[in-house]
Amino acid sequence: MKKSTGFSRLSRDEKIDFIARRHFSRPEEAARLLHAYQHSDPDVQKQHDEFIENSLTNFYMPYGVAPNFLINGVNYTIPMVIEESSVVAAAAKSASFWFDRGGFHARVLSTRKIGHVHFLWNGCEADLRDRMPALEGRLRAATEGLGAQMRVRGGGITELELVAKPEIEPGYYQLKASFETCDAMGANFINSHLECFARELRSFVEDDHSLPEADRSLTVVMSILSNYTPECLVRAEVSCPVEALADGDDYTNEQFLAKFLQAIQIAREEPYRAVTHNKGIMNGIDAVVLATGNDFRAVEACAHAYAARDGQYRSLTQAEAVDGQFRFWLDIPLALGTVGGLTSLHPLVRASLEMLQNPYAGRLMEIVACVGLAQNFSAVKSLVTTGIQKGHMKMHLLNILNQLGATEMEKERTKTYFNDKVISFQAVGEYLKKLRGQSAVQILSHIHPN
Ligand code: MEV
């Protein structure tokens, strides 16, 4: 196998040509596809190309909206980027349900972000602790220029702490730094600070002649923010009288409440269920995080670590019924930004933020958490009543029909036929086969009887 060199220096068209010839049985067709997904405006395409290395084209995902999200008294339409059929419909259904019951309430509980300089030092811990006030002054002074703008906005370094962890490795320490990053997600801000701290820390020790000579050097292993932000936390909740809970004829308020609470309890105690339960929450959260240009990998990693914070992976949502009042809530760490990163670069991200009334980061945290809660309410409600497949397969039917190359007329007819039937790929395939045996006249007369 020959390694390709200089690929990144090729133009986009050359890269497409190279990839098409090297990896596709029909290179012209592959190249046509890769070109077809590029934006018609070369400036917009260039903008997208510059987000990453070796960009060939764009990968489309549906951009939908879920209306009627009443959050802290404000009515939002939520932009969602997601490929899974039933997610937007489920969010919208839940939003509409809670709109009539007072809406969602959310508040940011804390906004602390953390980073570490991980280092090894063979000296005596007390020697370093004694020097912390002097070191802290030097670290703050060295990063003065980096944080000027953030300080004007009310952010910056909030705490510097020395943490010893000899149980991980003898002589292993962390310089743990806490930050307030205001409306920015803050990754670059934090990492630039940490790298500067690391340089200062090294020279602080080297310059200190009151330390034994052998202790005047330390090894910086790495300097990096932590995507685990349990103190960048938001709570979203809904509540209503138990008698307003059920909206179907097939079950009473009390039956619904009992099963709902049981489902939440199972997800709290049973990790196999908890993972699926939380995945449903992340269906909503990731979709808005993506639409607003935020880092969904960071949000995912953090949410799941938080779900396991007491040593067992558990549900992120909780529910209770006290004195006839149902309450359902989600606590989730969300490190989000509304400035910096993609927020001013990606045209659709700008549109999403405008649709959300240009929120500050804390407001975006509240909105995103409410969508996660709504998504989970919808999923668990379906699970404990009709089952999930009814709504899911109804949305998925269109995907099946598209895979089977159905015409618009066939789609209409199949949707009507499966309205009260169990949908499966095979059943739809068989129905289509039968349908295609019928004449066009028969099909038309079924759709428009008159
Ligand atoms: C599917 O994407 C998500 C659900 O499985 C979530 C859940 O089970 O709670 C429906």
How far, in Å, from the CA of 272 to the mean position of ligand 1? 12
Pocket test for ligand 1, best of 275, 279, 328, 392 (most atoms within 8 A of CB): 279
Fold of 113-225: Alpha-Beta Plaits (3.30.70)
Q: Once rounded to an integer, what is the mean pLDDT over residues 112-120? A: 98
Same topology between domain 63-110+230-386 and domain 113-225: no
- What would the two tokens of residue 413 be? 């007819």
- Give yes or no for residue 328 having a pLDDT over 90: yes
Nearest CA to ligand 1 atom 10: 379
Contact status, residue 162 vs residue 173, Cβ threshold 8 Å: yes
Burial-class residue 22 by CB neighbours within 10 Å (0-12, 13-18, 19+).
Answer: exposed
User: Residue 233: what pLDDT?
Assistant: 98
84 has catalytic annotation: yes
How far, in Å, from the CA of 280 to the mean position of ligand 1? 4
323 has catalytic annotation: no
Pocket test for ligand 1, best of 277, 376, 384, 393 (most atoms within 8 A of CB): 277
Q: Domains of the chain: which residue ranges?
A: 8-49, 63-110+230-386, 113-225, 391-444
Nearest CA to ligand 1 atom 1: 280
The pTM is what? 0.90
Name residues whose C-beta falls within 8 Å of residue 141's C-beta, 6 or more positions apart in sequence: none
Name residues whose C-beta falls within 8 Å of residue 94's C-beta, 6 or more positions apart in sequence: 374, 375, 377, 378, 381
How far, in Å, from the CA of 276 to the mean position of ligand 1? 6
* Measured torsion, CA atoms of residues 141, 143, 147, 152, in degrees rounded to the nearest 10: 10
* Chain mean pLDDT for the chain: 93
How far, in Å, from the CA of 420 to the mean position of ligand 1? 22
In angstroms, rounded to a whole number, what is the distance separating the alpha carbons of residues 20 and 104?
A: 50
Nearest CA to ligand 1 atom 3: 280
Cα separation values, 238 from 101, 180, 424, Å: 8, 28, 35
Tell me which residues have their CB closer than 6 angstroms to ligand 1.
84, 276-277, 279-280, 283, 379-380, 383, 388
User: Residue 54: what pLDDT?
Assistant: 96
- The active-site residue out of 279, 394, 411, 415 is 279
215 has catalytic annotation: no
CA 23-24-25 angle, to 5 degrees, is 130
Q: Per-residue pLDDT tens for 419-435?
A: 888 888 899 999 999 98
Contact status, residue 193 vs residue 116, Cβ threshold 8 Å: no
Q: Per-residue pLDDT tens for 136-195?
A: 999 999 999 997 888 888 999 999 999 999 999 999 999 999 999 999 999 999 999 999
How far, in Å, from the CA of 279 to the mean position of ligand 1? 6
Nearest CA to ligand 1 atom 6: 280
- Give yes or no for residue 408 having a pLDDT over 70: yes
User: Residue 74: what pLDDT?
Assistant: 98
Closest residue by Cα to residue 189 from 150, 154, 226: 150
- Give yes or no for residue 449 having a pLDDT over 50: no
- Per-residue confidence at 450, pLDDT binned at 50, 70, 90? very low
In angstroms, rounded to a whole number, what is the distance separating the alpha carbons of residues 251 and 238?
A: 21
- Give yes or no for residue 441 having a pLDDT over 70: no
Q: Per-residue pLDDT tens for 296-310?
A: 999 999 999 999 999
Could you identify the atom of ligand 1 that is nearest to the CA of residue 376? 9
- The active-site residue out of 237, 295, 366, 396 is 295
Task: Report which listed range, 67-81, 332-346, 413-427, is most confident.
Answer: 67-81
How far, in Å, from the CA of 384 to the mean position of ligand 1? 12
Q: Per-residue pLDDT tens for 213-270?
A: 999 999 999 999 999 999 999 999 999 999 999 887 688 999 999 999 999 999 999 9
Name residues whose C-beta falls within 8 Å of residue 444's C-beta, 6 or more positions apart in sequence: 409
Name residues whose C-beta falls within 8 Å of residue 140's C-beta, 6 or more positions apart in sequence: 157, 160
Q: Once rounded to an integer, what is the mean pLDDT over residues 51-58? A: 95
Contact status, residue 331 vs residue 237, Cβ threshold 8 Å: no
Contact status, residue 400 vs residue 425, Cβ threshold 8 Å: yes
User: Residue 440: what pLDDT?
Assistant: 54
- What would the two tokens of residue 311 be? 């040593």
For tokens 């070796």, what's the residue? 54
408 has catalytic annotation: no
Class of domain 63-110+230-386: alpha beta
Provide DSSP, 144-160: TTTTHHHHHTT-EEEEE
